[in-house]
Amino acid sequence: MARSPRVLVIVQNLPVPLDRRVWLECQALTAAGYEVSVICPKGPGDPARQCIDGVAIYKYRPAPAARGVLGFIIEFVYAWLRTAALSLVVRRERGFDVIQACNPPDTYWLLALLWRPFGVRFVFDHHDLNPELFRSRFGEPRSVGARTQYRGLLWLERRTFRAAHRVISTNESYRQVALQRGGVPMDRTAVVRSGPDTRRMRPVLSAVDEGRSAHLLVYLGIMGPQDDVHVVLEVMDELVHRRGRTDLRAALLGFGDCLEDLQALRTRLKLEDVVEFTGRVGVREIAEYLSAASLGLGPDRKTPLNDVSTMNKTMEYMAYAVPAVSFDLVETRFSAGETGVTVPTDDVASFADAVEELLDDDDRRVALSIAARDRVVTELDWRPQRRRYVEVFDGLLGFRSRPPEEDLELSADEWGRTYVPTDELADFVRMRGPRR
């Protein structure tokens, strides 16, 4: 019996399984008959080695938070060396036929080239546009130093595209970058959109909203400089202190480089009583908060990066029948369709207006909630993407993978919490927020 093909997945910016897209990919491959290993940084309290659902995870201690250009270079070199060393361990203990690198950064093409003489193929899972990230954070490069850094990012991106046997893009906007800027032939590209597993990401009968004294607004995601989470606090300041709203609170789920600054801003704005920071959360906590939420918030401003990036949080809000208020971004508009509300970027007052209007219009909010859940189930669910993802590896390796097993309808999650039945969803959504 021929052995199963082996895939090594490399992630630098998030631990696994916290990176939900990467974890869904790992599960898709193992279900299809592949052996999967992962190299990633440790999260707080994580062990150096884990095996979860058949996926072997090798973790290293992350570098200290980077400061300035030199700090980022040190961080990337450190992570690259730790990953390279662990790839030797994985090769000895489990082996691999394919390396899948998930950016940022665009540095693992070199590791892939070092392994190429041993017959290892390279798949680039394109998560971020690093040149656009640079422009979004620092503006258009005008000085000699900025132009040098920007050209360096473009060079690294080109090297990654050219080294890849296959490029996986998270949306059509990213695929156009691969085709036009990267020069990747069409037949070596595939679009595999991020999407939630809506069988499991769905409202549960939650204890978070007991008492229902206030509407719950939720932000879910990373809190970095490009994520503009400060907008959530500015909107809350507008609604609570200027408009006198006493019927709402906000929960900010996640972590990142800006977390401490955001907590300090909460204090300066005197929002401690109505804004909660949860820190790092898993699927269990996400389900609790989003099941109780009246609205999800997308504070990402229109920048060269954000405009063409798929925001996972938007679709995860939708999976829990939570409509989102967001700034108007091309890919966010595609994800939400007609189920969310978008406002002009940087207009905090308009953002607050949109939030307030939805909170005060139960019928519209319920209608958008049901439409959001329906859209994400029928058009954005992970399961169709799962097949496209596995086909990339099947085609690359000439492997005939196992077809996915039939997905059974679930009545409760792994913690025993009952899912809200579809025919009761409208009533459940209407009960969110304060009793009237």
pLDDT tens for 94-152 read 999 999 999 999 999 999 999 999 999 999 999 999 999 999 988 899 999 889 999 99
Beta bridge partners of 325: 297, 341
pLDDT in tens, 346-373: 899 999 999 999 999 999 999 999 999 9
Same domain for 50 and 131, yes or no, is yes
Helix (H, G, I), strand (E, B) or coil at 20: helix
**Residue 245 is encoded by which pair of tokens?**
């709203």
> pLDDT grade, residue 2 (50/70/90)?
low
pLDDT over 70 (residue 161): yes
Residue 33 counted as domain residue: yes
Contact 250, 217 (CB under 8 A): yes
Same domain for 234 and 186, yes or no, is no
Residue 410 counted as domain residue: no
Same domain for 263 and 124, yes or no, is no
Q: Indicate the number of domains in the chain.
A: 2
**Residue 65 is encoded by which pair of tokens?**
């938070």
Nearest to 326 by CA among 295, 298, 365, 346: 298
Same domain for 265 and 234, yes or no, is yes
> pLDDT grade, residue 433 (50/70/90)?
confident
Same domain for 369 and 307, yes or no, is yes
Helix (H, G, I), strand (E, B) or coil at 45: coil
Global confidence as pTM: 0.88
Burial of 66 (C-beta count, 10 Å sphere; 0-12/13-18/19+): middle
Beta bridge partners of 326: 298, 342
CA 420 to centroid of chain Cα atoms: 25
Q: Which residues of 353-365 are buried (b: 16+ CB within 10 A; e: fewer)?
A: bbbbebbeeeeeb
In order, the DSSP letters of 302-329 are --TTGGGS--HHHHHHHHTT--EEEE--
Domain that holds residue 75: 6-196+382-397
Contact 225, 257 (CB under 8 A): yes
pLDDT in tens, 21-33: 999 999 999 999 9
- What whole-number distance in Å separates Cα of residue 356 and Cα of residue 189? 43
Same domain for 228 and 348, yes or no, is yes
CATH number for position 225: 3.40.50.2000
